[in-house]
Structure 1
Amino acid sequence: MPLFRRNKVISNINIIIDGTDKLLDRWRTIPSGQIDTNIIEQCQNLLLEIFGLIAFDYDLETLDNNHLRNKNELTKALQDIINIFRKIINAPRFISIIYLKLSPQYQRAQATVQKYLTKMVEEKMSESPDSIAEQKKTSLIASLLSSLQTDEKAEAKKKEEDKKGKV
């Protein structure tokens, strides 16, 4: 996936470090006698936070101290999807497909993610082309929008090889 190539990770290393520091700070505030048992969930939240910031320039608020009380709708939907896929990962493919089609929880989560992604794309598209081009290296959504074809008539006149690009 282009999101996790070396240059993308390097250009976003500060986001990764900041998120990791937030998690480490939370762990340091735990009283010394208390055992923290949800490390896997917290690491999953760290990855969601990093993914949201790098891919969509959107803070999922998974590492905030009050994240349990103020979980935003998109974060909850993404966590629901992850948990559902965790349940069905070892099931036969046809059972997984049927489960996903019939699961109201998955359908709600998918609709929520779609709603937020559509909103993010619309917000990005309302920005100036220069702003989108500037953010292209740090935001996956800006990178995708900058690659959109804006002049369909000019695109239709191109040769098929030019449309596909040269390898």
Structure 2
Amino acid sequence: MNRRFTTLLSIPFLSLSVSTAALAAEEDNAPGAMCVGVGHDLRVNAQGQAENPQAVAVTAICPSERRLINGSFATRFSATVWVSDQSTQLSACCRAVSRVPNGASVVESPWSCTSTTGTSSNTQLTIQEITDGWTFAHFYIQCVVPPVEAGKTSRILTFRSTQS
């Protein structure tokens, strides 16, 4: 009788444990050096940051490997990006993007941008979550990095991807 009672008590705990794991989000940090420029090069500095030495703003793509969580691909993606915006003319802006390989389906968050004070050494941009259920879509962060101004370069310091 005690054996049967013990077995019945352990089933709800097993259920609770499995459902709690399904709610977990996965995060990872990556250096700005992982970002690549579109049409113009970004320069990687000794701190692993991607900086824009160009006289024009550069669009950067910062990849995030889509995660398998509990056997299924993540469907929600958000991010935090730390930037140094040295421009008094343009803001550094970033957004989350999900795209299928042929480009037919695109999901984009609104842009998150810095102010244009030109004195930012470390600004945190919180990127709004997007949802995409296509299993073959990929996630990335798209940023616009302002041009060099008065010898100072704006740069992407690091970024954190959050998936669930």
Per the shorter chain, which TM-score range?
under 0.3
**With CA pairs under 8 Å and 6+ residues apart, which has the higher RCO, 1 or 2?**
2
Q: Which structure dedicates a bigger proportion of its chain to strand?
A: 2
TM-score, normalising length: structure 2? 0.22
> Which structure's residues are more often helix, by fraction?
1
TM-score by length of 1: 0.22
